[in-house]
Structure 1
Amino acid sequence: MRKILVVGAGQSGLQLALGLQSHGYEVTLMSNRTADEIRHGRVMSTQCMFHTALQHERDLRLNFWETQAPKMVGIGVSVAGPGAERVVDWVGRLDGYAQSIDQRVKMAGWLETFAHRGGQLVVHGAAVSDLDYFSRVYDLVLVAAGKGELVSMFPRNAARSPFTRPQRALAASYVHGLGPRPEHPEYEAAHCNLVPGVGELFVTSTLTTSGPADLLFWEGVPGGPADVFQGVVDPAEHLALTLSLMKRFTPWEYARTANVELTDAGGVLSGRYTPVVREPVAHLPGGGLALGVADVVVANDPLTGQGANTASKCAATYLRAILDHGDQEFDEAWMRRTFDRFWTETAGPTTKWANAMLGEPPEHVLNLLGAAGALPVVASRFANGFDDPADFEGYFYEAEKTEAYLSEVAGGAP
Structure 2
Amino acid sequence: MRRILIVGAGQSGLQLALGLQVRDYDVTLLSNRTPDEMRSGRVTSTQVMFGTALRHERELGLAFWEDRAPGIQGFGYSVAGPPLPAAAGRVRRIVDWVGRLDEPARSVDQRVKMAGWLETFAARGGTLVLHGATVCDLDFFAGRYDLVLVAAGKGELVSLFDRDPARSPYAAPQRCLALAYVHGLGPRPEHPEYDAVRCTLVPGVGELLVIPALTLSGRADILFWEGLPGGPLDVFGAGESPAEHLARMLELIERYAPWEYGRATQVELTDTGATLAGRYTPVVRDPVGRLPSGGLVLGIGDAVVVDDPVTGQGANSAAKSAAACLAAIVERGDEPFDEAWMRSVFDRHWTTSARHATRWTNTMLAPLPLHVQRLIGAASDCRPVADRFANGYDDPADFEGWFYEEERAEAYLREVGGG
Is this contact kept in 1: 2:238–2:277, CA < 8 A?
no
Matched, 1:243 2:250: yes
Matched residue, 1:12: 12
Matched residue, 1:407: 414
Matched residue, 2:86: none
SS of equivalent residue, structure 1 residue 387: coil
Post-superposition CA distance 1:166-205 (Å, at most 9, x none): 0000001000000000001111000111000000000000
Is this contact kept in 2: 1:188–1:205, CA < 8 A?
yes
Matched residue, 1:45: 45
Matched, 1:27 2:27: yes
Gaps in structure 1 of 5+ consecutive residues = none
- Which amino acid in the other structure matches residue 372 of structure 1? A
Deviation at 1:295?
Answer: 0.7
- Which amino acid in the other structure matches residue 288 of structure 1? G
Is this contact kept in 1: 2:181–2:269, CA < 8 A?
yes
Q: Give 1:193's match in structure 2, choosing from 194, 200, 212.
A: 200
Matched residue, 1:94: 101
Q: Give 1:294's match in structure 2, choosing from 301, 312, 319.
A: 301
Deviation at 1:115?
Answer: 0.1
- Which amino acid in the other structure matches residue 410 of structure 2? E
Distance, in Å, in 1 between the alignment partners of 2:35 and 2:194 is 33
Post-superposition CA distance 1:66-111 (Å, at most 9, x none): 0000001000100000111110000000000010000000000000
Any residues of structure 2 matched to 1:15-414 within 5 Å, and which?
Answer: 15-83=15-83, 84-410=91-417
Distance, in Å, in 2 between the alignment partners of 1:261 and 1:230 is 20
Distance, in Å, in 1 between the alignment partners of 2:316 and 2:239 is 29
- Which amino acid in the other structure matches residue 401 of structure 1? R
Post-superposition CA distance 1:195-228 (Å, at most 9, x none): 0000000000000000010000000000000111
Over the aligned positions, Cα root-mean-square deviation in angstroms equals 0.8
Distance, in Å, in 1 between the alignment partners of 2:65 and 2:104 is 14
Distance, in Å, in 1 between the alignment partners of 2:405 and 2:53 is 28
Distance, in Å, in 1 between the alignment partners of 2:169 and 2:48 is 25
SS of equivalent residue, structure 2 residue 149: strand
Instruction: Give the TM-score of the pair, scaled to structure 1.
Output: 0.99
Post-superposition CA distance 1:99-128 (Å, at most 9, x none): 000000000000000000000000000000
Q: Which ranges of 4 or more aligned residues in structure 1 deviate by more than 6 Å?
A: none
Farther-moved stretch of structure 1 (50-59 vs 226-235): 226-235
Matched residue, 2:88: none
Is this contact kept in 2: 1:10–1:144, CA < 8 A?
yes
Deviation at 1:230?
Answer: 2.9
Number of corresponding residues: 412
- Calculate percent identity across the aligned residue pairs: 67
Distance, in Å, in 2 between the alignment partners of 1:166 and 1:230 is 16
Distance, in Å, in 2 between the alignment partners of 1:236 and 1:403 is 47
SS of equivalent residue, structure 1 residue 360: coil
SS of equivalent residue, structure 2 residue 45: coil
Distance, in Å, in 2 between the alignment partners of 1:67 and 1:311 is 23
- Which amino acid in the other structure matches residue 312 of structure 2? G
SS of equivalent residue, structure 2 residue 248: helix
Distance, in Å, in 2 between the alignment partners of 1:260 and 1:321 is 46
